[in-house]
Amino acid sequence: MHPNPSFRNTLDGHGWELVSQTSFGTLVQSTSGLPLISHVPFLLSACQSYIELHLVRSNPMARVEVGEAVPTTLIVNGPD
């Protein structure tokens, strides 16, 4: 990625540590070629393998069919 070591992705857990210190993020999906963006509260699972979050039923992101794979990104900005 970036040549400066400060910006490289590593497997040392620093990224998960940052995510565990943050309670809100920006969830981004692309469906039918259109972006969907929501500011969401979230928690990192205890096993650090998935994110638990809340979407209101009326949010278009919540209308994805069960089992349907939709590319989704969670953007996290620094600790709270």
Cβ atoms of 55 and 61 closer than 8 Å: yes
pLDDT band at 79 (very low <50, low <70, confident <90, very high): low
* Of 24, 22, 14, residue with least CA distance to 53: 24
Give the DSSP H/E element, type plus range, for residue 43: strand 34-44
Q: Is 42 exposed, middle or buried (0-12, 13-18, 19+ CB in 10 A)?
A: middle
User: pLDDT per residue over 20-65, tens digit each?
Assistant: 888 899 999 987 788 999 999 999 888 888 889 988 989 988 887 7
The reply to whether the predicted model has a pTM over 0.75 is no
What residue spans define the domains of the chain?
5-75
Residues paired with residue 74 on neighbouring β-strands, in sequence order = 27
